[in-house]
Structure 1
Amino acid sequence: MVIKLHSLNEVIDCIVKYLKINLKGIVKKVGIADAVGKYLAEDIRASMDIPPYDRSVLDGYAVIYEDIALTRPESPVKLRVVGNVDVDEFKGYELRRGEAIKVSTGSPLPRNASAVIPKEGCVAQGDYIYVYNPVPPNYGVSKKGEDLRRGELIVSKGTLLRPWHVGLIASQGIPEVLVYEPKACMFSVGDEVIDVGKVFSPGKVYASTTYLVLTYLKELGFRVRFMGFIGDDEEAIVKLLRKSLNLCDFVFTTGGTSVGERDLTVRALRRLSPEVLYHGVALIPGKPMAIAVVNGKLVMCLSGFPVAALAELEVVLKPLLSRVLGMKFFEPRVIGRLGRRLSTSPNMNYLIRVKVSKVGNEYVVTPLKITGSGVLSTLVKGNGVLLIREGSTGVDEGDLVEVTLLSNVEGGGCG
């Protein structure tokens, strides 16, 4: 049996049409301290101006600009100090001409204040200060709403929340936010697969793909329920697929997606009468992947080989989540020169593991391996992936290519 390969765009567009995700079931309200590392499920708008009032950004004296505009070292301006405002005070002072009020960094400014003279920019004597040099209007002043205006969008839906997002949300006094926490069920298929910690024997393989997929999903914010390891048994696979679909909106399997006699996962999936099912995508590595929608829920049957499974998640799952949930994935990229030619078929997509190095002022991209869907070590030996989309017949040595980084780039010497 030959697997018919479908274009990525066709697969993703069709799956999106049939998916009917229950948003209430995948959105959770959490305290902002627990929201970091999760994807925001709502727009957050400013509920107040920041700063909420004009305030000083210096330790010094609040003044009326016109009083000090013409001061000179040879003829300093004398201003009477009529009060003091600390950071946590709001006394409602109103400055008059010829007056100054002592302020600290962060202090609310009195009405009519239009500049702050730094402490070191004047001389204090008793109840007066002497200003020897002028400052520009609004010097040392942070204006109300200068940072944020009430109603302004401050963090958009789908954003991966980092500490600085949380700090910004906290500045609005918001204690909780909605985040995506979709429930996923996952299991691995194959008589040969054994869990880590078990005694190894010939003919067996440790569950590297299982743990790669499991942790990948967790990193995307999924709450994953691992359903276990199952042998090459069609009836057992059908039963576990049904159970998983009753528990979760997303189901992921690894192994059994090719066309051998013992590849039974896709055969079992067909027995569930999916609304749509694709078996075979134009992706290297990852061609035998199957993806379906059953009762509005997503089922992805991933390769049992780790690099192929990763390619399927990167190139298929992420775009789906972006389309359906609006999730925005932070993927640092660099432009570099290809170290050797890559020949590709125009009707295929290729996710190629690469090593990016800094040589002088430019990046050099060295392909590690085009094929070999089980060569997991190339993901660690390399530090990036290069996606060549269908329609291309290859990339020549020396051409500029865009690489998604998986880890840091070393180098930067003269080369």
Structure 2
Amino acid sequence: MTSMDSHRFHRQAVSPDEARSRILQHVRPLGAETVPLGEALGRSSAEAAAASHPFPPYRRSAMDGYAVRAMDLPDGAQHEPAVLEVLESLPAGEVPKRVVGTGQASRIMTGAMLPEGADTVVMLEVTETERINGREYVRIRKPVAEGRNVADIGGEFQPGDELFPTGRVIGAGEVALAAAFGHANLQVIRRPRVAILSTGSELLSVDEPLRPGKIRNSNAVMLAALLREAGAEPVLLGHAADDADRAERIIRGALAECDMTITTGGISVGDQDILVDILARWEGTTLFNKVAMRPGSPTTAAVLNGKLLLALSGNPGASFVGFHLFAVPAIRTMLCAEPQPVTIEARLAEPFTKVNAFPRFIRARTEFRDAEIWVRPTGADQSSLMKTIVDADCLLVLPPLKQGIGEGERVTAILLKQGVSR
């Protein structure tokens, strides 16, 4: 038996957790770049952002009403309303000109700066106004606790408080916080550039007409979409026929130019599975060439010159599963995010009767019923099926089973769309 045959047929299976661990040992966070705040949405922060001043930076009103001294209001025991002279009207953005003293108030709008002397805001809806001798007064019949409806200086953030940590995906809230503290530019992690190469003489480009014995290359565009969802930049290399020499040249070039390379197809035991031949003869290090799981047990990973090659199954369902189990943690590590998948406990929404020799990762969707999470397979558990990918928002994880598992049983599921950070 040749060394290539040995590489093809004699494989030592590792657990999915061990496979992920071996991958992550060879992945490091990428460098940072500075981008304008408006371009930071969806990127992963490269440094923690901190408050540069207290927020709110001044005492401000939380609603429309009147800024008063609480001690001037009825105390609950007295039945007479407080009648306070109105000094001025304060819209947001104006600096008060008058100090509120005994028996006085200032009309104030939401977000406006509280005048000196005032400690409370009475909401507009519980007041009445009147003019007496040409002056405006406000009548207040109920007590209001001191400090009510007032946002104090630094009530939300003190100088130096963390706005968001390293590795956080910049969303609308993070953008708002950065803007509030004058961060016009943000340091973000550079997006990983991930090459995608599909192998197989049976593949056609998406725009080519079908021919006998051929199929269109759906894996590449699926993986490109998944990479974008994960925060990476896909580099599509097209597809290579079953020519190991040509495929190896493409892969070497991709590993030199990109941060990671993903291939699909060519990793099983068939005569045309060219990735097996490439990995058997080159100087790179094979991390594993079989994973104890279904689907996608031939999934393989290797490293050349510090760059990761992840070889996924050519079957769409298995490629989808392998991407989430192994590519996503690597990308999240590059983006300084937590690599371990998010798992949930749920109930199985329908019986699963297939016997498992290996753990199974089944495309499934979550449902909410009676205040509990249920998971339902999106179709038959076959690695070649594409339609099971469409509605999948989780992977149902089933351990090796000698018999099926019934509806309502407790199961574990891996959430898929978790973003780049949490």
Shared fold (TM-score, shorter chain, > 0.5): yes
Judge which range, 180-189 or 336-345, deviates more. Answer: 336-345
**2:12 is aligned with 1:10:** no
Match of 2:271 in 1: 261
| CA distance, structure 2, for counterparts of residue 159 and residue 343 of structure 1 | 40
Q: Secondary structure at the match of 1:83?
A: strand
Go from structure 1 to structure 2 and tell me whether the alpha carbon gap of 1:154 and 1:315 turns closer, same or farther (over 3 Å shift).
same
Match of 2:420 in 1: none
Go from structure 1 to structure 2 and tell me whether the alpha carbon gap of 1:335 and 1:368 turns closer, same or farther (over 3 Å shift).
same
| CA distance, structure 2, for counterparts of residue 355 and residue 16 of structure 1 | 28
Count of residues in Structure 1 that have an aligned counterpart in Structure 2? 403
Q: Secondary structure at the match of 2:145?
A: coil
Letter in 1 for 2:85: R
**2:75 is aligned with 1:70:** yes
| CA distance, structure 2, for counterparts of residue 343 and residue 147 of structure 1 | 54
| CA distance, structure 2, for counterparts of residue 396 and residue 165 of structure 1 | 44
**2:125 is aligned with 1:120:** yes
Match of 2:62 in 1: 57
Q: What's the CA shift for 1:245? A: 1.5
Match of 1:37 in 2: 42
Match of 1:335 in 2: 346
Superimposed CA distance per residue, residues 109-156 of structure 1 (whole angstroms, 9 cap, x where no aligned partner): 122321112233333332433322211111121122223333222222
| CA distance, structure 1, for counterparts of residue 18 and residue 411 of structure 2 | 25
Q: Secondary structure at the match of 1:284?
A: coil
| CA distance, structure 2, for counterparts of residue 245 and residue 362 of structure 1 | 45
Letter in 2 for 1:68: L
| 1:204 corresponds to which of 206, 211, 214 | 214
Go from structure 1 to structure 2 and tell me whether the alpha carbon gap of 1:393 and 1:275 turns closer, same or farther (over 3 Å shift).
farther
**2:236 is aligned with 1:226:** yes
Go from structure 1 to structure 2 and tell me whether the alpha carbon gap of 1:74 and 1:356 turns closer, same or farther (over 3 Å shift).
closer
**2:169 is aligned with 1:160:** yes
**2:156 is aligned with 1:184:** no
TM-score, normalization by structure 2: 0.85
* Maintained 8 Å contact 1:159/1:328: no
Superimposed CA distance per residue, residues 304-329 of structure 1 (whole angstroms, 9 cap, x where no aligned partner): 11111111111112233444543258
Q: Percent identity?
A: 28
| 1:305 corresponds to which of 308, 315, 324 | 315
* Maintained 8 Å contact 1:84/1:103: yes
Letter in 1 for 2:283: S
* Maintained 8 Å contact 2:23/2:326: no
Kindly report the root-mean-square deviation, in angstroms, between the aligned alpha carbons of the 2 structures: 2.9
Match of 1:19 in 2: 27
Q: Secondary structure at the match of 1:79?
A: strand
Unaligned runs of 5+ in 2: 1-8, 418-422
Match of 1:413 in 2: none
Go from structure 1 to structure 2 and tell me whether the alpha carbon gap of 1:320 and 1:389 turns closer, same or farther (over 3 Å shift).
farther
* Maintained 8 Å contact 2:351/2:404: no
Letter in 2 for 1:305: N
| CA distance, structure 1, for counterparts of residue 76 and residue 17 of structure 2 | 69
Aligned ranges 1:375-394 → 2 under 5 Å: 375-380=385-390, 384-388=394-398
Judge which range, 275-284 or 198-207, deviates more. Answer: 275-284
Q: Secondary structure at the match of 1:283?
A: coil
Unaligned runs of 5+ in 1: 408-415
Q: What's the CA shift for 1:261? A: 1.0
Go from structure 1 to structure 2 and tell me whether the alpha carbon gap of 1:71 and 1:358 turns closer, same or farther (over 3 Å shift).
closer
Letter in 2 for 1:258: S
Aligned ranges 1:164-175 → 2 under 5 Å: 164-175=173-184
TM-score, normalization by structure 1: 0.87
**2:255 is aligned with 1:250:** no
